[in-house]
Amino acid sequence: MEVFVQQLINGITLGSIYGLIAIGYTMVFGIIGMVNFAHGDVFMVSSFIALVAALVLTTWLGISSVFLSLFIVLIVGMLLTSLVSWTIERLAYRPLRGSFRLAPLISAIGMSIFLMNFVQVAQGPRNKAVPPMLQQVIVVMERDGYEVTVSYRQLVIWAVTAFLLLAFWYVVSKTSLGRAQRACEQDQKMASLTGVDVDQTISITFVIGAALAAVAGTMYLMYYGVVSFSDGFVPGIKAFTAAVLGGIGSIPGAVIGGLLIGLIETMWSAYFSIDYKDVAAFSVLVITLIFLPQGILGRPEVEKV
């Protein structure tokens, strides 16, 4: 029971990170029907931006307040990662819009390879470890000497994720931008006829996805304390799995899917085998797509002739 509660806490934390990345996948797929393969690497790049920003703040400017520096790192990370994603969309995807179906996917795979190797060349291939922060823990329950704990880090991740999801939900459902996004999702040509700037809406979709991925990247760095150039691939695939599991195109689905994937992964590690935790996550992807291709909250795809 204690192990279960502890893994529940860990799983929700991991799931929050996956959920934040998954929103980027699901929004882009919803609006232009493309798997943004480079999204996982954008997440990795954001981790590195956060790393550099944190180092500048602590070693150069000497800011000692953890929460202040975390706040600044988040803002800087979101801004710069958005810029990266905006540029990628502008240069690598927009010229291919309306081109044949595979072209954007191949371009995205190329972008993913490029980003990964760019970071490797620019920052070196070694793992980058940061000193652990916010290590204090709160003991939630205790039995026979086994303590179930929640760390401050985990609390911060939950709080930030919850806050961002609320803000994001507000943007998507209550503002004109969100309305434009939903319009583009349904019918781009019609949306443009009613005065929606389709290109700009798509750009903003990429930017929002990247900003959320940047938050996930900062959290990832804070939670694990280490990042390397190859860290974008597996979390990216898992987040995509989360998006598919929740129903691709559905934003609440992405969050639910993220939490489920996080839970499946931690529970599998605890009860079965830690070596095969990635196999478990990938198997979930396969099984979902085969038996429930529309996901938990997605609409079934209508085949038109």
Partner 1 sequence: MTAPSPASEPRTDVARALKHAAIAGLVSFGMLLPLIGFRTIQDMRNELVLETRPLLLASFVLLTIAGSLLVSLVLVPWKQRRAAAHIPGESVRRAHWRAHVAKWLVPFALGFVVLYPVIVLLGTGFGGAVKWIDNFGIQILIYVMLGWGLNIVVGLAGLLDLGYVAFYAVGAYSYALLAKEFGLSFWILLPLAGTLSAFWGILLGFPVLRLRGDYLAIVTLAFGEIIRLILINWVDFTGGYAGVSGIPRPTFFGIPFNANDDGFAAVFGLEFTPLYRTIFLYYVILGLALLTAFVTVRLRRLPVGRAWEALREDEIACRSLGLNTTNTKLTAFAMGAMFGGFAGSFFAARQGFISPESFTFMESAIILAIVVLGGMGSMIGVAIAAVAMIGGTEIMRELEFLKLIFGQDFEPTQYRMLLFGLAMVLIMIWKPRGLISTREPSAFLKERKTVAATFVEEGRG
Q: Which residue's CB is nearer to partner 1, number 96 or number 134? A: 96
Q: Which of 5, 61, 113, 190 binds partner 1 (CB under 8 A)?
A: 113
In sequence order, the 6+-apart residues with CB closer than 8 A to the CB of 46 are 77, 80, 81, 84, 210, 213, 214, 216, 217, 218
Closest separation in Å from C-beta 60 to partner 1: 7
Which of 1, 62, 101, 176 contacts partner 1 by CB under 8 A? 101
Strands (E), 214-295: 226-227
Residue 92 beta carbon to partner 1: minimum distance, rounded to whole angstroms: 5
Q: Which of residues 5-34 bind partner 1 (CB under 8 A)?
A: 29, 33-34
C-alpha distance from residue 168 to each of 180, 208, 210, 212, 214 (Å):
15, 9, 13, 9, 14
Closer by beta carbon to partner 1, 64 or else 176: 64
Q: Which residues contact 187 (CB under 8 A, 6 or more apart)?
A: none
Residue 279 touching partner 1 (CB under 8 A): yes
Residues contacting 242, CB < 8 A, separation 6+: 15, 18, 19, 21, 22, 254, 257, 258, 260, 261
Structure tokens at 64: 């000692």
Q: Does 102 bind partner 1 (CB under 8 A)?
A: yes
If the CB atoms of residues 154 and 229 are measured against partner 1, the closer one turns out to be 229
Number of residues located near partner 1, criterion CB under 8 A:
72
Pick one of 145, 176, 275, 302: the residue that binds partner 1 (CB under 8 A). 275
Site membership for partner 1, residue 132 (CB under 8 A): no
Q: Answer yes or no whether residue 242 interacts with partner 1 by CB under 8 A.
A: no
Q: Does 126 bind partner 1 (CB under 8 A)?
A: yes
CA distance to 1, 14, 269, per residue, from 7 (Å) = 10, 10, 9
Tell whether residue 285 is a contact of partner 1 (CB under 8 A): yes
Any idea which residue has 């990662």 for tokens? 81
Task: Report, in Å, the least distance between residue 258 CB and partner 1.
Answer: 16
* Site membership for partner 1, residue 111 (CB under 8 A): yes
Distances (CA, A) of 215 to 68, 77, 199, 209: 15, 7, 25, 10
From candidates 55, 141, 162, 167, binder to partner 1 by CB under 8 A? 55
